[in-house]
Amino acid sequence: MHQMFKILKYSFYDLIRSRWSYVYFLFYLLLGFVLLFLNNDVSKAVITLMNIIIVLVPLIGTIFGIMYYYNSREFTELLLGQPIRRSHIFLGQYLGVAGSLTLSLVLGLGIPFLLYGLFKSNAIWDFGLLLVTGAFLTLIFTALSFNIALSHENKIKGFGYAVLLWLFMAVIYDGLFLMSLIIFEEYPLDNFSLIATMLNPIDLSRTLILLKLDISALLGYTGAVFKSFFGTQWGFLISIIMLCLWTGLPIWRLVYKAKRKDF
Amino acid sequence: MIQIKDLYKKFGRNQVLSGVDLTVQKSGIIAVLGPNGSGKTTLIKCILGMVIPNKGTLIVMDEPVKNNWRYRKQINYLPQIANFPGNLKVKELFTMIKDLRQQPDQQDDLVSLFGLKPFLNKKLSTLSGGTKQKVNIVLTFMFNSPLLILDEPTTGLDPASLIQLKKLIQVEKAKGNTILITSHIMQFVEEVADEIIYLLEGNIYFKGSVAALKSKTGEKDFEHAIAAITTNASNV
């Protein structure tokens, strides 16, 4: 464990010295300020932020994850010859990437909200949940991109698959989902849409935040099904459990793959 | 020190190691030779646990290699291509490896030996190939370990540094350590090696001293002796 935190520390330092971490941080900082001080309504700002976060966070997590893995190949090989457990090398690097991205997100959005007087507002829990979901999405998509990178020696291929994964989860999946709802509208679709939502972490995050915000107008069909099926409390709990599974499985496979790979 | 039994490794359809048996007991300098693609690096990486064999057992420093990492505390490894994380400074790289290994080191002596002081605050991406190799060598010889594995250590070195490297290798030998070397520079091998392991098509074709190889092939010149077993394997 001790060794893993050292790797994490070095990966983390390496990343927070990179220009892109600052760009990412400044983007959220700017976004937070603009939304709050132009909108003057925390709840609305949270909804707008949600729409941005659930698309942007997976994209950045995927791309940073895949780029970091390929760029640090030499570093990894150097470490593999040292007395360190393999799983610690890869978990350390993964947590370094996911951690620095999460930090950019939390600080970038947290600072403007704090300055705005978040603690006096009722929206603090909504906002907190937004950050938690953002952190989950970062963890999930960074882990997925590490998985892709571990399975593909070819950089271009790996990068392509990673972008395709994001495109599928963020855009194509919803399209397919909606189309099947229309095509099969004669049939009972409650279970189908429940499962379909859980199988995509982006949809899951959206449903989770909307359940918390409790704005039925924005819930949409799936949200409504979720709510009527589980109730707000259960729906909330089940979505969190699913997000944990979505985080845990790719991390498990990452360690499994790393242990069996030749370098 | 190293016990390898019936080691097999395949990459895709390419059978790289096919049933290697090797025991290294005593200390000294052992050269692993063989034509390109004969499995030298794969064999070394198997010993280091970087490549996972399909079949066979490996015991290094009295510990099984499989799913183990502790035995690497007793190994110093010089990788073939000296590539390091580019945005790190030389000094930071040394500090990091020392931090990870937590063993007494001789960094200062080695840095002055190879004249690396002016480069300590430079980023690794800005160094030339030869300087990178010197950094690589310092990292390898920094700790005192009973087993040293050097994959093509002479690559890119200028003559002065090559002399220093040879001295370092002799110092390690005098300490009673085992040094495993791969190299294509036959002159270098002849000069330093106590024993030669010749790999051919994934198997050990010859194991013995330089003199034994010469008498076996009937060649007086070492380079020719090596060439003779490579080209004319059936005649030997």
Inform me whether the C-beta atom of residue A5 falls under 8 Å from chain B C-beta atoms. no
**Does position B185 have pLDDT exceeding 60, yes or no?**
yes
Residue of B nearest to A11 (CA): B85
B56, B61, B63, B66 alpha-carbon torsion, rounded to 10°: -50
ipTM (interface predicted TM): 0.85
| Overall number of domains in chain B | 1
pLDDT at residue B149, as a whole number: 93
Mean pLDDT of A127-143: 94
**B73/A17 CB distance under 8 A:** no
Range of the domain at B122: 2-235
User: Would you say B76 and B178 are in contact if contact means Cβ atoms under 8 Å apart?
Assistant: no
Share of chain B above pLDDT 70, in %: 97
Q: In 3D, which of B231, B148, B126 has the Cα closest to residue B192?
A: B148
> Which of A71, A77, A153, A255 is the best residue to mutate to test the B interface, defined by the most B CB atoms within 10 Å of its own CB?
A77
Compute the nearest-CA separation of A190 from chain B (Å).
Answer: 46
- pLDDT tens for residues B13-62? 898 988 888 888 888 999 999 888 888 889 999 999 999 999 999 998 88
Of the listed ranges A50-64, A106-120, B99-113, B222-236, the one predicted with least confidence: B222-236
Mean pLDDT of B88-99: 90
Q: Would you place residue B82 in the very low, low, confident or very high pLDDT band (cuts 50, 70, 90)? A: low
- pLDDT tens for residues B191-209? 889 999 998 888 888 888 8
Mean pLDDT of B96-111: 90
Cα–Cα distance for residue pair B26/B18, rounded to 1 Å: 25
| Overall number of domains in chain A | 1
- pLDDT tens for residues A166-219? 999 999 998 998 898 889 888 888 888 888 888 999 989 988 888 887 766 666
β pairing state of B28-33 and B75-78: unpaired
**B50/A81 CB distance under 8 A:** yes
For chain A, list the strands marked E by DSSP.
Answer: none
Distances (CA, A) of B37 to B79, B180, B189, B203: 16, 18, 19, 12
**B51/A6 CB distance under 8 A:** no
Q: Would you place residue A118 in the very low, low, confident or very high pLDDT band (cuts 50, 70, 90)? A: low
Residue where the block lists tokens 């799936």: A222
CATH number at residue B205: 3.40.50.300
Per-residue tokens: A74: 């030499």
> Which of B65, B69, B123 is the best residue to mutate to test the A interface, defined by the most A CB atoms within 10 Å of its own CB?
B69
Q: Would you place residue B233 in the very low, low, confident or very high pLDDT band (cuts 50, 70, 90)? A: low
**Does position B121 have pLDDT exceeding 90, yes or no?**
yes
Q: A235 or B107: whose pLDDT is higher?
A: B107
Range of the domain at A45: 2-260
Rg (chain A; Cα; Å): 19
Q: A144 or B236: whose pLDDT is higher?
A: A144
pLDDT at residue A158, as a whole number: 96
A234, A238, A241, A247 alpha-carbon torsion, rounded to 10°: -140
| C-alpha count within 13 angstroms, C-beta hemisphere, residue A116 | 25
